[in-house]
Structure 1
């Protein structure tokens, strides 16, 4: 049974996705730092700007979840699925995300952040 409304589900989805994005961008930043680019600084600045925006967005989502009395427990990976335990105003729910879905959603969000940073 689903306890949260659509807006709350969207907040939970963002809370799950933003740390994944931060991890991906952080790894990319490490690769750029070790790469033989002649002009690394523009890439580094872009990645840091995006990571700062994602961190701000994650903070905003955390504040909103706290206001709504929603708690999301760390995901547990099991083969092809990552499982999150969600507490919504006292009710417990398990949300399962296929890892393929998380990967595809991460790519989509990355593209939107990259587009936003270039404007």
Structure 2
């Protein structure tokens, strides 16, 4: 078990969640581009601005992890849980997250970033 600060855990979890947010934004952008909307550009610009903001935060997260010698890797996954391995130097901690919790938190983050743009 790792003895990590709340900030480190938050950053490690951001390294899990933010790529998921980016994946959803990318998929949604394609839907808007291919969709039959009368005025697509405002939606596409909103998604582009949001994507830039998320990329910026992910880059900050990666810098923090590198500076503090932290890593996160995806472990096994089943229908109910996803496993993530947190590594600090040579010590590691395996954490399991409910897939529903992951989805709900990603949805909250998406709402948060879209409201900022």
Structure 1 and Structure 2 fold alike (TM over 0.5)? yes
Aligned to 1:43: 43
1:75, CA displacement in angstroms? 4.7
Could you list the runs of 5+ residues in structure 1 that have no partner in the other structure?
Answer: none
Aligned residue pairs total: 117
- Higher RCO, 1 or 2 (CA under 8 Å, sep at least 6)? 2
Map residues 22-33 of structure 1 onto 2, 5 A cutoff: 22-33=22-33
Q: Which runs of 4+ in 1 moved over 4 A?
A: none
2:82–2:98: 8 Å Cα contact kept in structure 1?
Answer: yes
Distance 1:93 1:16 in 2: 15
1:57, CA displacement in angstroms? 0.5
**Change beyond 3 A, Cα 1:32–1:84:** same
Distance 2:77 2:116 in 1: 31
Could you list the runs of 5+ residues in structure 2 that have no partner in the other structure?
Answer: none
1:116, CA displacement in angstroms? 0.5
TM-score under structure 1 normalisation?
A: 0.93
1:38, CA displacement in angstroms? 1.2
Q: CA RMSD for the aligned pairs?
A: 1.1
